Amino acid sequence: MAEHFNKLTAANFQLALPLIPSETSIRATDELILNTFGVVIPSINIDQEEVNWQGAKIIVPGGTITFDAFTTNFMVDDNLDNWKVLFDWITYINNNYNSFVGDYNNYVIDSSLRLTDNFGTQTRLITFKNMWIQSLGEVTLSQREGEPVLECNATFSYDRFVVA
């Protein structure tokens, strides 16, 4: 049976962040869509343990499952609005001055990585549960095909992800 093979292009995945806890602007209810150009779906791991079985030692799954951090590279808009939203979120969690890490439930969200085919039809949805921003990278100004482009990366932590 022949299967259709679709190569993903930069326009075929996007990170959708719903209401960010630190947002207070008029657009606070808008979903933030990051124009991503580099995404790595994080790895997952099951802890293992060694047990004795019939005089031998074997490795079996045990303990918990862990999810690695989620990092994405994205294009920053000309006013740095999307970068500022993420900046406000990370300083909402801890601004290193008068606001330190508070109640976990006040700064986590569920977000989605949407994968689409070349016709815009969603093919996969990866939902990150209880996600919060862990790191916001530097903004890089570069030239691509003669036009200035602002680029940044962000790393997020979360409890788990679900693939649909």
Domain residues for the domain of 66 are 10-41+58-163
- CATH number of the domain bearing residue 27: 2.30.110
Q: Any bridge partners for residue 49, and if so which?
A: 60
Q: What is the pLDDT of residues 47-58, one digit of tens each?
A: 998 898 888 998
Q: Do 15 and 38 contact (CB within 8 A), yes or no?
A: no
Question: What local confidence, expressed as pLDDT, does residue 27 receive?
Answer: 61
pLDDT of residue 9: 54
Q: Residue 26: inside a domain, yes or no?
A: yes
Residue 3 lies in a domain: no
Instruction: Please count the CA atoms within 13 angstroms of the CA of 64 that sit on its side-chain side.
Output: 4
Residue 1 has pLDDT above 50, yes or no: no
Q: How far apart are CA 25 and CA 11, in angstroms?
A: 28
Residue 31 lies in a domain: yes
Could you report how far apart the first and last alpha carbons of the chain are, in Å? 23
| 52 within a domain of the structure (yes/no) | no
- Residue 70 in any domain: the answer is yes
**Strand locations in the chain (E):** 13-17, 32-34, 36-39, 44-53, 56-67, 70-76, 109-116, 122-136, 140-144, 147-157, 160-163
pLDDT in tens, 123-153: 899 999 999 999 999 997 777 677 778 889 9
* Assigned domain for 2 exists: no
Number of domains into which the chain is organized: 1
